[in-house]
């Protein structure tokens, strides 16, 4: 008896997702709770585990398909049961494709047929024959496809001096996936750089040198939210600079003892988060939001920490940061950072932020104007620490300086409040004892 694989509950207000990648193929054996595929939602990537052990007998939704909560993704047959042929993915307009696969003495052969209005049968037959030989283990070249390799596969191809032509793709419309590259390398695929056809300059054949990749749901959501913030909020940015020497000296003095006691490294984010929560208490408008004709003041500080991942920018939230110590903040940021890197963030990790901190300095940014994370009214931009000459006590000295940027919604935050907020953050960082004494 087959066990159905269905789309799980995706979280509050999320009703659909896009299939990012299948990790198993029809005919593969699976263990209970083994990850079968990834679902990409507007906010996070969710792994779907196998509901039972057995053999993946059917895939009903292919990579790139949009599916709703509860939709059927595939089926798992009990161990020893036969497997059904995979259903063909929807083909481009004007063409139909069908694929079937069977194992003969351990050698898998696949044939594909396609028909297009008017012509192409001979070319299609040749392509099918070549694909059959490649799947069966023929060392001959694989014809290049229109669909570019997946980003992770493209990186692995480049690292190993391979071209997509040398790898048989298992993804939708023959897309080369990371697992396909791994399989090719394990078979000893040539590591010599593939010869690429030269295109004459000014030939007008730019399209042949372009790559078209569909935006992930996360990237689409990021684009929409950022543009909505620009369209709705009256955004303005104010700048200041902070002398990081006091914080750096304090960190250098206590970092080893701090890590030994708390089991986490002492970074800069703990100081910045604590400085922000202190300033928010004094300037509550920066921690508020507009709801229709009302202003909602938040008597708590849920601080979003922007994290760049290979799939886009995510903003996990440190909840009640105003009630936490620097050590507790560092531990929570560490946990959220690992979860973001591994694609393990839950919906609860991403919701409810009241203010955001974005650290472009880790990428070398010297100054920027961050965009609000709506419906929040403020976001603090951190930047690169750079030694610069400054005047201190009537003398020119060299100090490790950082530019700070506060973008805010001018509909709710006045200029005086924004400048005061940024000055309070600066004061706390240049005199970190204030953070301990709550001054």
* Residue 414 known to be catalytic: yes
Q: How far apart are CA 115 and CA 128, in angstroms?
A: 12
Contact 107/134 with Cβ under 8 angstroms?
no
Q: Of 33, 228, 342, 410, which one is the catalytic site residue?
A: 410
Q: Which residues contact 109 (CB under 8 A, 6 or more apart)?
A: 101, 102, 132, 135, 136
DSSP H or E run through 4: strand 3-6
Other beta carbons within 10 angstroms of residue 432's beta carbon come to 18
Please say whether the beta carbons of 3 and 70 come within 8 A: no
Cα(98)–Cα(128) distance, rounded to whole angstroms? 11
- Which of 262, 414, 431, 438 is labelled catalytic? 414
Cα–Cα distance for residue pair 168/175, rounded to 1 Å: 8
> Between the CA of residue 248 and those of 194, 305, 401, 432, what are the distances in Å?
49, 21, 11, 10
* Three-class HEC string of 195-248: CCCCCCCCCCCHHHHCCCCCCCHHHHHHHHHHHHHHHHCCEEEEEEEEECHHHH
The residues facing 39 across adjacent strands are: 19, 46
d(CA 75, CA 73): 7
Supply the DSSP string of 90-124, one letter for each residue: PPPTTEEEEEEEEEETTEEEEEEEEEESSS-HHHH
Q: What are phi and psi of 318, to 5 degrees?
A: -90, 105
Q: Is 143 left (phi over 0), alpha (psi -120 to 50) or beta?
A: beta
Q: What contacts 24+ positions apart, CB below 8 Å, involve 243-246?
A: 243/390, 243/399, 243/400, 243/401, 243/430, 244/268, 244/385, 244/399, 244/400, 244/401, 244/402, 244/429, 245/399, 245/400, 246/429, 246/430, 246/431, 246/432
Q: Which residues are identified as catalytic?
A: 410, 414
């Amino acid at each position: 008896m087959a066990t159905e694989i269905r789309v799980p509950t995706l979280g509050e207000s999320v009703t659909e997702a896009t299939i990012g990648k299948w990790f198993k193929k029809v005919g593969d054996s699976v263990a209970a709770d083994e990850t079968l595929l990834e679902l990409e939602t507007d906010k996070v990537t969710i792994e779907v585990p196998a509901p039972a052990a057995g053999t993946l007998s059917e895939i009903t939704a292919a990579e790139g398909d949009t599916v709703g909560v509860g939709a059927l993704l595939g089926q798992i047959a009990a161990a020893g049961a036969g497997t059904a042929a995979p259903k063909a993915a929807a083909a481009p307009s004007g063409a139909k494709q069908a694929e079937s696969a069977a194992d003969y003495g351990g050698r898998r052969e696949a044939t594909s047929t396609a028909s297009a209005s008017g012509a192409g049968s001979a070319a299609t037959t040749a392509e099918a024959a070549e694909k059959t030989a490649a799947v069966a283990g023929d060392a001959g070249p694989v014809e290049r496809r229109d669909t570019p390799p997946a980003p992770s596969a493209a990186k692995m191809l480049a690292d190993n001096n391979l071209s997509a032509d040398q790898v048989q793709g298992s993804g939708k419309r023959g897309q080369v996936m990371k697992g396909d590259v791994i399989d090719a390398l394990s078979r000893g695929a040539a590591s010599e750089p593939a010869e690429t056809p030269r295109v004459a300059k000014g030939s007008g054949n730019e399209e042949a040198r372009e790559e078209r990749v569909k935006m992930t749901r996360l990237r689409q959501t990021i684009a929409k939210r950022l543009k909505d913030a620009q369209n709705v909020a009256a955004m303005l940015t104010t700048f200041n600079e902070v002398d990081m020497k006091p914080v750096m000296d304090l960190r250098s003095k206590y970092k080893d003892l701090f890590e030994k006691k708390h089991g986490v490294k002492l970074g800069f984010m703990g100081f910045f988060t604590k400085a922000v929560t202190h300033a928010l208490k004094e300037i509550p408008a920066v921690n508020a939001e507009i709801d229709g004709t009302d202003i909602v003041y938040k008597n708590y500080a849920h601080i979003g920490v922007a994290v760049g991942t290979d799939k886009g920018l995510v903003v996990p939230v440190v909840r009640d940061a105003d009630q936490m110590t620097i050590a507790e903040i560092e531990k929570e940021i560490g946990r959220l950072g690992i979860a973001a890197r591994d694609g393990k963030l839950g919906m609860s990790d991403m919701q409810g932020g009241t203010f955001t901190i974005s650290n472009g300095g880790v990428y070398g940014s010297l100054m920027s104007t961050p965009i609000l994370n709506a419906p929040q009214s403020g976001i603090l931009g951190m930047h690169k620490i750079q030694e610069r000459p400054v005047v201190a006590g009537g003398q020119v000295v060299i100090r490790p300086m950082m530019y700070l940027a506060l973008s805010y919604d001018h509909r709710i935050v006045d200029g005086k409040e924004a400048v005061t907020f940024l000055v309070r953050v600066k004061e706390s960082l240049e005199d970190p004892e204030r953070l301990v004494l709550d001054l």
